[in-house]
Amino acid sequence: LSSFKEFLSAEKKMAALTPLQSLVRIHPEKIQYLPFEQEMPTTADAARVLQIAESRIIKTCIISVGKPKTFVAAILRGVDRIDWKKFENLSPGYKKHSFASSEEALKITGYQTGGTPPIGLGDQLAQVYVDARVFEQDEVYGGGGEKHSLIRISPSMIQELNQALVCHISITADPNEKQ
């Protein structure tokens, strides 16, 4: 009986976790959660705190597409921006697009903008795309679910957990880097 109570207690705790927290617990050797005192809502903030190149920081953009509205996620390096022409070529319905509002992103993913993780995004997204440039690093740092946390993860784990499509959808915003 006590093991059944322990089982129920563990189940209750798991049910209270966010999808990201559950994934961190399931894959502790592959996903590292990094809490911090200060908020890091931007690529520059995160790179400064970690003392690493901004190209190792990734961002997760939630995008509204088509009519009726559906939502997709685009994961790219923090130094890059979405090349909308390339994005539109992913699907005919993507000609009409915009970034989701903060309220929409929270409703769809369960996370506030500025801390949106690249995994554990829930089941309301039609598709997740990972820009090919993310794979230039063995490990990257992305939102940890809140503005004061990050996760460290491999791009291949991001692709696997999201069943994401890898594509070329970015243009670099870094003037020191070639296209």
pLDDT digits (tens, 9 = 90+) for 95-137: 999 999 999 999 999 999 989 999 999 999 999 999 999 999 9
- The token duo for 169 is 């959808």
Give the chain's radius of gyration (CA, Å).
17
Written as one string, the DSSP assignment of 113-161 is TTS--SS---S--SEEEEEGGGGGSSSEEEE-SSTTEEEEE-HHHHHHH
If you ran DSSP here, which 8-state letter would residue 174 be given?
A: -
Q: Which residues of 140-150 are buried (b: 16+ CB within 10 A; e: fewer)?
A: bbbbbbbbbbb
The answer to whether the Cα torsion of 27, 113, 74, 178 is positive or negative is negative
**pLDDT tens-digit profile of 126-155?**
999 999 999 999 999 999 999 999 999 999
What are residue 82's DSSP bridge partners? 170
Beta-bridge mates of residue 172: 80
**Full-model pTM:** 0.88
